Amino acid sequence: MNFIMNIPGLKDVLIEKIEEHGERIVLYVSLPKKLHRCPSCGARTKKVHDYRLQKIKHLKWFERLTCLFYKRRRYACACGKRFSEKASFIDKYQRFSKEWNLVAQVRCIKAKTFKEAGETLGTSSSTIIRRFQQVAKQHMVSGVRLPKAITIDEYKGDTDAGTYQLIVANADTHEPLDILPNRRKDTIKDYLYQYGADVELVVMDMNPSFKAAVREALGRTVIVADRFHFCRYIYWAIDEVRRKVQKERHAYDRKKCKRMRYVLYKRSRKLHDKSKWYRDRYIGMSEELKTAYELKEAYCEWFDWAKTTDDVVEVKRRLEAFYRKVGEARIPDFLKAIQTLKNWQVEILNSFAFNYSNGFLEVINNKTKVMKRNAYGFRRFDRFRAKILLNIQYKEIGVHLG
């Protein structure tokens, strides 16, 4: 049996024999003899010196691990030089075929775990980790200049660098740009100072140390408070009131109420009749809860309207009217909430003036969580960072490879 077959990655290779060794397939291959140019003197030669047998791992064939026994030919030149023939399917001194290398490069990034990639490719996890680190080195350039508008948000990465990491993304394209090892002010400040010369706008949640870092590193850059984050303060406030009111209730009532608490958070106009009935019963429990509910509704009305208009002056005026309502109601949890809103008022109004939001980061954060659950052992921050950023870069690549 001596034929040429076009197996992917093995073009023009002569397959001399195919053997099955248990679950493995072994292909005995060689290349046709042909004229080679001597690398030393440049003369042409076809004189064979000897053969060396080389074992090379290749991709799975029919779902089975496959390796090549390659009979590598060496030529001899009249000048005395001996040299190996050219083989396009393998790089010099490699134990893996080029095709294998290509797939390994994609799989080490896309597989759920290094172990899984290793099993698919018939190699050890540590080989896959080494591949991964090579790819990371090639593809991850640090020190790129950040774009004009960026967004920053923390997430729980639980790596050896700390519990929380900070993700930096392009606010216009939503493309993640980098991950910082922690959310400390100095870390953010140094990073922005180094790479943020072009940054004109930063979207963030209401973390005072983020704001301080941006101010100190970038001076008068526009800061935009993320909508999702500032709305949460109002929801936290009504939830506090709800909890206090419920504590005073009978245990049975308490459980039932807790299950139905969503009726308080939904906008009134979006409630069905049945939910409305629960809502009325719920807020009928206490005068304070009823007031808290009305304040939340007033806030939502302001927020929904603010999103639709360009009149930032009027947005501010109506927000201040909401503050007055809260002032009259005198519910401590709401007073506390609007104090935070007041501290961040400029940044909140910016979110309507510039129309940016961080929402997409939640999606990334969720993806990251899944990755973390799957990739047991991603404790090392450098690997974790590379894994997340490379996955985003490789999103469109090699979905069907390997």
Chain contacts with Zn ion (rule: CB under 5 A): 38, 40-41, 43, 77, 79, 81
Q: Which one, 81 or 139, has the nearer CB to Zn ion?
A: 81
- In whole angstroms, the minimum distance from the beta carbon of 46 to Zn ion comes to 13
Q: Give the residue ranges of DSSP H helices in 223-311.
A: 227-247, 251-259, 262-265, 273-283, 287-306
Q: Which is nearer to Zn ion, 4 or 79 (CB)?
A: 79
Our CB check for Zn ion shows the closer of 79 and 397 to be 79
Minimum gap (Å) between residue 71 Cβ and Zn ion: 23
307 Cα distance to chain centroid? 28
Q: Which residue has the tokens 């993700």?
A: 167
Query: Is 380 exposed, middle or buried, given 0-12, 13-18 or 19+ CB atoms closer than 10 A?
Result: middle
Question: Cα 88–94–96 angle (5° rounding)?
Answer: 80
How far apart CA 176 and CA 392 sit, in angstroms, is 8
SS3 30: strand
- Shortest Cβ 68–Zn ion spacing (Å): 29
For residue 108, the minimal CB distance to Zn ion (Å) is: 41
Q: Which is nearer to Zn ion, 50 or 362 (CB)?
A: 50
CA distances from residue 113 to 65, 103, 122, 135 in whole angstroms, order as listed: 19, 15, 14, 16
Closest distance between Zn ion and the C-beta of residue 77, in Å?
3
Nearer residue to Zn ion within complex by CB, 46 or 266: 46
Residue type, 257: C
Q: How far is the CB of 50 from Zn ion (least distance, A)?
A: 17
User: Would the CA dihedral through 88, 94, 95, 97 be positive or negative?
Assistant: negative
Nearer to Zn ion, 21 or 44 (CB): 44
Least distance in Å: CB of 53 to Zn ion?
25
Nearest alpha carbon to residue 31 among 2, 67, 66: 2
Nearer to Zn ion, 40 or 309 (CB): 40
Q: Which of 46, 54, 40, 41 is nearest to 75 (CA)?
A: 46
- Cα–Cα distance, 141 to 69 (Å, whole number): 38
What would the two tokens of residue 72 be? 């590598």
